[in-house]
Amino acid sequence: MSEFYRSFEDKHRGSRELILSRLAVYKPFIEKLKAHWDLEVTDLGCGRGEWLELLTSMQVRCHGVDLDEGMLSACTARGFNVTKNDAISYLKQLPTGSQMVVSGFHLAEHVPFDQLQVLVQEAKRVLVPGGLLILETPNPENLIVGTSNFYMDPTHVNPLPPPLLQFLPEHYGYGRIAVLRLQEPAALEDIPHITLMDVLNGVSPDYSIVAQTAYTEEHGPDLDQLFATPIGVTLAGLAHGYEARMSGVENNAANAANMVRALEKNVTALQQNLTIQIKSLELENRMLRDQNARFSQELIAQKEQIHEGAVVLAEHGAYLGVLTSQLGVARSRLHALSVIIPSPIVSSVRYALLQGTLLRRDGIRTRSKLMARKIVFFAIRKLAPIKPLKKASIFALKKMGAYEFLRTRYIRKDIEIFRPAVDHTVIIGVENLSPHGRNVLAKLKLAEKIRDRNN
């Protein structure tokens, strides 16, 4: 069993360097005690001697006790002071108050509880007042350790919960006890998101109790700060962090569910609105198609009308061409007649045609008045140069009281028939006029001379 157990510890306990690094947590306690006393440290179940090596490096006198010959041989090879004996028998041999520290690393879980009680009592006896009892053991608060890993060692008796091992020295009169939780993978504050596996395996896999015997302040070292500093990760802390995270996850899930429900409502409302809009667009599309069909029919009808209008316009254009040609022929004939027939006759004919047109337009009564007025004005204009007759006419009109009336009403400078306005600035080229035009121009010049003379 001894050879098997040494092989088992070599495989599962870890390298010397790893164990030495883990034991460094106790160095502040040893430094405080060393500064106060120069006493020996007894390590029960010293094993391969890692704790003895650390104490020796700190220049602290130490002694190891173990029952395994192989373990003791390894310690002796390294020059450590060791004894083959069981822990309780060795403690009973020590004088009272002779030890600064009594330690047992992973010893308590190998000892039946009644013997563990005796060990705690004997350790108190051999410790100087203010000395320390250090018992390190697997931590059953770590669920993987408490349900599985603890039982991998066939020499383990029972797991020891921290409150039980803490109560043991308290019951036997130690002054104060601190529980140090050790070897956890990460500090609680360094775990960003606590998972279920952290709760199961994240608690410190080992713990120790550091129990100090009662002492007076002037006779003991000052360890207040070390006892007041909590070390390690507890199951309660991880569980609380996990519950807080799960609560946050549940709250986030509830918020997400509320958001999903709100989104579903919004999507439903949006679908309804889109359905209404699609139906409205379909209705508008049908109306637009109907309007397009009507516009297409109207456009076809308009195209037909335009085609018919184009045909009629072409016909009218042809007819207008015929009329234009006929008008040209008529103008040619009229020009020929104006050359053959004297201009007074042509003018008389034109005047007669004009009067016929005006008679049809204005009526016989209106035209009669205008003709009578024109004859009277023509007679006055022709007879006015005869001064005796003019004087006699004026005398008669004055006697009748009609002279001023006729003069103010008919003899006006702005009446075109009596006072034609001639623009003297316009140069009329006689050489470009027809014979009839020359005749009309001569008459206009004569009328202008008569007007100037009368004025």
What are the tens digits of pLDDT across the range 251-280? 878 888 888 888 888 888 888 888 888 888
Q: How far apart, in Å, are the Cα atoms of 210 and each of 12, 24, 378?
A: 25, 14, 157
> Tens digit of pLDDT for each residue in 71-92?
899 899 999 999 999 999 999 9
Q: How far apart, in Å, are the Cα atoms of 117 and each of 53, 86, 127, 177, 181?
A: 28, 15, 16, 16, 22
The 3-state DSSP class for residue 201 equals helix
What are the residue boundaries of the structural domains of the chain, listed by start? 2-233, 341-383
pLDDT of residue 119: 96
Q: Count of alpha carbons within 13 Å of 175, Cβ hemisphere only?
A: 17
- Asked whether the beta carbons of 100 and 62 are under 8 A apart, the reply is no
What is the Cα–Cα distance from 136 to 44, expressed in whole angstroms?
A: 11
pLDDT of residue 122: 96
> Tens digit of pLDDT for each residue in 30-54?
999 999 898 999 999 998 899 999 9
228-242, 308-322, 358-372, 376-390, range with greatest mean pLDDT: 308-322
What is the Cα–Cα distance from 288 to 433, expressed in whole angstroms?
A: 67
> Tens digit of pLDDT for each residue in 222-231?
888 999 888 8
> Tens digit of pLDDT for each residue in 136-189?
999 998 888 878 888 888 888 889 999 999 999 999 999 999 999 987 776 655
Residue 207 has pLDDT above 90, yes or no: yes
Segment 1-14 mean pLDDT: 61
Where does 2-233 sit in CATH, by number?
A: 3.40.50.150
Q: Which amino acid is at 410?
A: Y
Residue 3 has pLDDT above 50, yes or no: yes
pLDDT of residue 366: 82
Q: Which residues contact 145 (CB under 8 A, 6 or more apart)?
A: 138, 139, 203, 205
Q: Which of 4-13, 289-298, 309-318 has the lowest mean pLDDT?
A: 4-13
Chain mean position to CA 193? 29
Q: Take residue 75 and report the two structure tokens written for it.
A: 């310690």
Segment 363-373 mean pLDDT: 79
Q: How far apart, in Å, are the Cα atoms of 382 and each of 338, 376, 428, 431, 440?
A: 28, 10, 28, 31, 19
Segment 322-327 mean pLDDT: 79
pLDDT of residue 418: 40
What is the Cα–Cα distance from 299 to 312, expressed in whole angstroms?
A: 19
- pTM here? 0.56
Q: Are strands 176-182 and 62-66 parallel, antiparallel or unpaired?
A: unpaired
* Dihedral angle of Cα 3, 7, 9, 10, to the nearest 10 degrees: 130
pLDDT of residue 58: 94
Q: Which amino acid is at 152?
A: M
